[in-house]
Structure 1
């Protein structure tokens, strides 16, 4: 079967992919594994070492710190993450740089050729993107590939690749339409990335027992936070990490700087990298953690703090961090959420730090209106001072009313944060 003329630009490719499959998310590995086999991605390894990261929250920060730590130790790296904030290119980074359009297009073309080589295979937007990224990584053969699971684990497209080290950060209720609300079952799905005879680094303190059950069934070696590795609370001299190497040799690092990201995830990244066979150099680790940045995660732009947190677990972390950083003025919360997210849980978690709320409407089939979002806030006697038709409109209204000592937390969705980032860039 021949393909229609292929798009010439990245934008045209993305538009084509969005329209090509009627379902945005379709869990299952049969289709994507077949195309991966046709592409030769299962014949060898895409990198010398592979770390796969799954979880409900903390995946992005763990990946960012893994990449920063690996590059500080002189390793060549490739990272694949999703979703993106402003540019699709953000999803694939090679040696710390976003992939260029030509690299992404070459990956899409390779996927399309393999998809039609024999019985045509239908793939989702995410599946094409994942296979295209793996194609680019395999051609480059970096020292370390870090792959973030998009949704779930067991049936996610990323799971066609066997990792040397599998990481599970946290498990909470999210994406209920696909994963359900049973934490035991969600844990089993996330644990689907574990492999027999390979380390399973568990970075969450309250993971359901099903994760360990899957590890035992598969013969994966459990390396858990506060058991095999731990971190201290930060102090004037920084924080300390203790873990172990591939042969069980005790390791320790002291005087580590606060990366501005969850320290549990920093400790998890250090442990995963050590188990991947990287000798941790104290100076390199300190430099990496001091310099790591992740857009949209506790990202401060003047008085504005942007975070993509969109479930109660993430919102609780945000509230804790802001309580540790009191301000002299008011804390405004600009909140925009999708309709399938737990708005009530997020609002309850943020209520202790919110002096005033600005709710904003998002676009699309899954959108939630500003008025609908304001209802559960008002039910908790929260002060909803404005409802806006878009994140940008809410930000413009709020900008005109901020006092110098005030601060704004923007959260609730990747779409909300992306819109405010774009607004900030446009306004300089």
Structure 2
């Protein structure tokens, strides 16, 4: 029986511990509960776009959503993980979903999964079904779904997408996806559907992605650098690609978003293939007002980015290399134990003048001392080893010698979440 009085926080705590493993890839269990809920009887929405990839998924989803809404469409987005509130994972026309809507969805899912035979679901699987129930209830013009991990066996993949976007392929989550880039590409391409449309949003995807698209008979495959592309200049962003009928499209002097331009170009191409053709004015309105927490987010002298693998760290380093630094640039780095810290440090090292390393506690955590060893191995200078991200932020804030330095906070969603909470309290005069 379900507890109708449980709060969202109580539900999330329960979901965190109800399944045998935090990550359990496969579609059989979650697909059966979706069937019991009637979620597989018809498409989730008139247009569904799914986004998979190693990096750039959140940015692509954010730009898809902003442009769709600028065109007057209603939308629901599902993303993960969240930074501060679970409600961030489901956004209805740009606004976080309510606690009440999530709790109602969890209650329905609990009833369905406990029907004989009972089925165990992971935290992510339950959250994915909750998002789908909310999408059905809202009946938006477009649903935009971010794939969690991999693609083929991710819970999001029980839902068919009209347009499948693959952003980038790089090494991450090796314990689940392995270290063979070709195999990883095949897994992420698994979100494609025969007869559908695909957007390949990187110039360096492994051949396995396009090979799979050809194998299953995609209606159209649009590839960055061939089918669609962009040029960035002083007058703005120029983009060209194709629409749903295969006709050439051109958009000129677009506002440049503060997010990766490959992702912006891919979002525009995906919308076109979904039958949505934004005007120059609509795109400018969407991009000019767009910001995404934790993606090169600037708060005073603090720069926050969730980069936690070498590919993402390389993009951050290139962005920072193009910006002037008045005094110096400090990196506050805290990473999970299963991430490639050596390569992340190596990517960032050319644009960092000093380091503060912080411990992330927990089963997947990593100590500041082990991070400091990796920084030192790259020739970096470690100013402080902190017992937590909060302690690191406080130490930096109180160090007068660093008062004029820019501070990059990165390494994990956990790291950036802790920084956002600390900065929020600091701005309100609490703690610090």
Q: CA deviation at 1:368?
A: 0.2
Matched residue count: 425
Contact kept, 8 Å, 1:336 with 1:413, in 2: the verdict is yes
Does structure 1 residue 317 correspond to structure 2 residue 303? Answer: no
Structure-1 residue corresponding to 2:361 = 363
Measured after TM superposition, the shift of residue 222 of structure 1 is 1.4
Instruction: Give yes or no for the alignment of 1:219 onto 2:217.
Output: yes
CA distances 1:35-66 after superposition (whole Å, capped 9, x unpaired) = 00000000012211000000000000000000
Partner Cα distance (1:408, 1:105) in 2:
38
Whether 2:117 is the aligned partner of 1:119: answer yes
Q: Partner of 2:430 in structure 1?
A: none
Report the equivalent of 1:414: 413
SS at match of 1:193: coil
Q: 1:178 maps to which residue?
A: 176
Secondary structure, counterpart of 2:60 in structure 1:
helix
1:22: how far off? Answer: 2.1
Q: For 1:140-170, what per-residue CA distance to the aligned partner results, in whole angstroms no more than 9, with x for missing partners?
A: 1100000000000000000000001000000
Aligned partners of 1:271 and 1:116: how far apart in 2? 42
Report what 1:147 is aligned to. Answer: 145
State the secondary structure of the residue aligned to 1:242: strand
Give the Cα–Cα distance (whole angstroms) in 2 for the partners of residues 274 and 5 of structure 1. 45
- The SS at the match of 1:319 is helix
Query: Of 231, 245, 248, which aligns to 1:247?
Result: 245
Name the residue aligned to 1:275: 273
Could you tell me whether the CA contact under 8 Å between 1:330 and 1:406 is conserved in 2?
A: yes
CA distance in 2, matches of 1:226, 1:280: 21
Alpha-carbon offset, residue 6 of structure 1? 4.6
One of 154, 161, 164 as aligned partner of 2:162? 164
Are 1:137 and 1:145, in contact at CA under 8 Å, matched by a contact in 2?
yes
| CA distance in structure 2 between the aligned counterparts of 1:348 and 1:84, rounded to whole angstroms | 27
Residue 406 of structure 1 deviates from its aligned partner by 1.7
The 8 Å contact of residues 46 and 139 in structure 1, kept in 2 or not, is answered as no
8 Å CA contact 2:358–2:392 kept in 1: the answer is: yes
* CA displacement 1:79-124 (0-9 Å, x = unmatched): 0000000000000000100000011011111111110122001100
The RMSD of aligned alpha carbons is 0.9
State the distance in 1 between where 2:10 and 2:4 align.
Answer: 9
Unaligned 5+ runs, structure 1: none
User: Matches of 2:254 and 2:280 in 1, distance apart?
Assistant: 8
Residues 181-200 of structure 1 mapped to structure 2, 5 A cutoff: 181-200=179-198
Query: Is the contact made by 2:255 and 2:283 (CA closer than 8 Å) also made in structure 1?
Result: no
TM-score of the superposition, structure 1-length normalised? 0.98
Match of 1:396 in 2: 394
Native 8 Å contact 1:359 1:384 kept in 2: yes
Greater shift in the superposed pair: 272-281 or 314-323:
272-281
For 1:106, the equivalent position in structure 2 comes to 104
Q: CA deviation at 1:401?
A: 2.3
CA distance in 2, matches of 1:117, 1:49: 31
One of 258, 261, 264 as aligned partner of 2:262: 264
Q: 2-side partners of 1:292 and 1:5: how far apart?
A: 39
Rounded to whole Å, the distance in 1 between the matches of 2:53 and 2:365 is 24
Q: Distance between the aligned counterparts of 1:7 and 1:340, measured in 2?
A: 37
- Tell me the SS of whatever aligns to 1:42: coil
Segment drifting more, 398-407 vs 106-115: 398-407
SS of residue matched to 1:292: coil
Equivalent in the alignment of 1:333: 331
Rounded to whole Å, the distance in 2 between the matches of 1:22 and 1:370 is 30
- Give deviations 1:162-212, integer Å, cap 9, x for gaps: 001000000000000110111011001100000111111000111111101
Distance (whole Å) between structure 1 residues aligned to residue 185 and residue 409 of structure 2: 29
Where structure 2 has 5 or more consecutive residues not aligned to the other structure, the ranges are 428-432
